[in-house]
Structure 1
């Protein structure tokens, strides 16, 4: 059975959605990042980057949420576009756009706006600007089609969904007025039973929510040394 190392944050959420959509049997293993469990030696052996999610499938270890999505899509043959260079090229491009743009800039915007110590005016401006720029590209791309790759729901939509759930926290409560197409995609996916089941996973375990000294040391060691 698949072992799925999970925390209720955007990147693990993508994988949870794929697993629930396909009905693959898996064991959920909670990793409480604010308690520093991602630094446990046993977990480091699975993911040397000390980040969630990670996946163990028999003898196969996969880490990075987008790599896991691709692995599971190839394993099941589901939620992939047509097997043509054109279609796969578009899939890889948008999936990597989420991996290298949406995720990192959104994550850094959250860090500097909500958690970093002062002074932070420049990094807040920098990362908020880039997060907005990337989300506007997604919004414009969705203007004339229901899903990221056209008319079919794929793993790319799952990758976007993981982060779209957090858009108000990333960009502010007014974000949905400026990103209506992203909101439409989010709402459409949220209607799916698999999305509702994946959201319910976070209630299966109690995760630390306080950003106290222990959490800051575990998540942001550079500001606690």
Structure 2
């Protein structure tokens, strides 16, 4: 049995999308980070880093979304090219999200929401977020998907952060946001995938049981 421990955040959305794309039966265990459940002793046995998501899959236990998606892709032989430039690009863009887009959007949002504003921090992380979106736009102007012609774990890794980032940028920094036609089209295309809709619906339901 496969069990995903997650909450409805971009990082929690990534493995949920992957599992739905694979069509793998799984249990979804909510870890309400708003209540601090990620620090509960029972969850710390699955993820000692006290973050979501985490996954148990038969005898394997993993944390970190990138590791989870790579494990599932290799186990099921899907969404990760076996070699060549497409594999290299898939891995590079996956780690680009882990080390760049996600943390920068997260830090910008954090400082933006503080009661005591720190303009230098807000500007630092906003500027880097905008730069990363221009990098993403350049890639998608040249390629249908981040790993090349095919939909891969790179798209699943970047999509939730790009989607959420655009929502907040449109609200809070629209005057700074460049045109991103290829990125917006790519986000809309992935958002329309049936597996993605199922994943988001399940995560919406655990965050708000009345929405189910």
Could you tell me the TM-score, scaled by structure 1's length?
A: 0.86
Q: Which runs of structure 1 show a deviation greater than 6 angstroms over 4 or more consecutive aligned residues?
A: none
The answer to whether the Cα contact below 8 Å between 1:110 and 1:169 also exists between their aligned partners in 2 is no
State the SS of the aligned residue for 1:148. coil
The answer to whether the Cα contact below 8 Å between 2:8 and 2:204 also exists between their aligned partners in 1 is no
Aligned residues: 206
Tell me the CA shift for residue 180 of structure 1. 1.6
State the SS of the aligned residue for 1:4. strand
In the TM superposition, 1:67-216 aligns within 5 A as: 67-81=67-81, 83-114=82-113, 116-173=114-171, 174=174, 178-206=179-207
State the SS of the aligned residue for 1:166. helix
In the alignment, what sits opposite 1:45? 45
State the SS of the aligned residue for 1:178. coil
Within 2, Cα distance between the matches of 1:205 and 1:164? 22
Could you tell me the TM-score, scaled by structure 2's length?
A: 0.91
Q: Deviations over 1:44-81 (max 9, x none)?
A: 12111111110011221111111111011001100112
Q: Structure 1 stretches of 5 or more lacking a match?
A: 209-225
After superposition, the CA RMSD in angstroms is: 1.8
Q: Deviations over 1:88-130 (max 9, x none)?
A: 222221111011001110111111112x241411110111111
Tell me the CA shift for residue 205 of structure 1. 2.2
